[in-house]
Amino acid sequence: MRIGALSRETGVSPRLLRYYEEQGLLASHRGEGGHRRYDADAPVVVRRIRTLLAAGLPTKVIRDVLPCASGSGEVLDACTLGHLRDRLAGLEVQLAEIQATRDSLAALVADTERASGPAASLAGAA
């Protein structure tokens, strides 16, 4: 399968397919004339990559877990659980930090509005 056909089948641009290849996520070989050729399972591999990217995994992690993917990529083999749990834990930490920042900012806004009086609150709402 050539890059144009793979792009049409998956909805992923040729540029992005080349990027996946550069990152070691997708394999191709050069055919006659130097054109990229992909194996018949390339559309499935691209869908797996897209699923993992949508889950927030960086390409370096995807490179590690992709060999453990089977099926459509929406369910991974157990060998990926460590990576997935680590990523989930990292996101939980980030969410807690964002919530703490949001709470601090909301408190600062409330304190500033109280200190400025009702006129400042009305001006801020306009």
Domain count, the chain: 2
**Are 18 and 66 within one domain?**
yes
Rounded Cα–Cα distance for residues 106 and 88 (Å): 26
Rounded Cα–Cα distance for residues 71 and 102 (Å): 40
**Are 4 and 66 within one domain?**
yes
**Are 86 and 114 within one domain?**
yes
**Are 69 and 108 within one domain?**
no
- How many alpha carbons lie under 13 Å from residue 47 in its C-beta half-sphere? 14
Residues in contact with 59: Cβ distance below 8 Å, sequence separation at least 6, in sequence order: 20, 23, 25, 53
pTM of this prediction exceeds 0.85: no
**Are 88 and 113 within one domain?**
yes
**Are 69 and 89 within one domain?**
no
**Are 70 and 95 within one domain?**
no
pLDDT in tens, 53-101: 998 888 998 998 888 887 665 667 777 788 888 888 999 999 999 999 9
**Are 72 and 84 within one domain?**
no
The reported pLDDT for the residue numbered 31 is 81
**Are 110 and 98 within one domain?**
yes
Domain with 94 in it: 79-126
**Are 85 and 23 within one domain?**
no
**Are 68 and 125 within one domain?**
no
Mean pLDDT of 27-47: 90
Q: Is 92 helix (H, G, I), strand (E, B) or coil?
A: helix
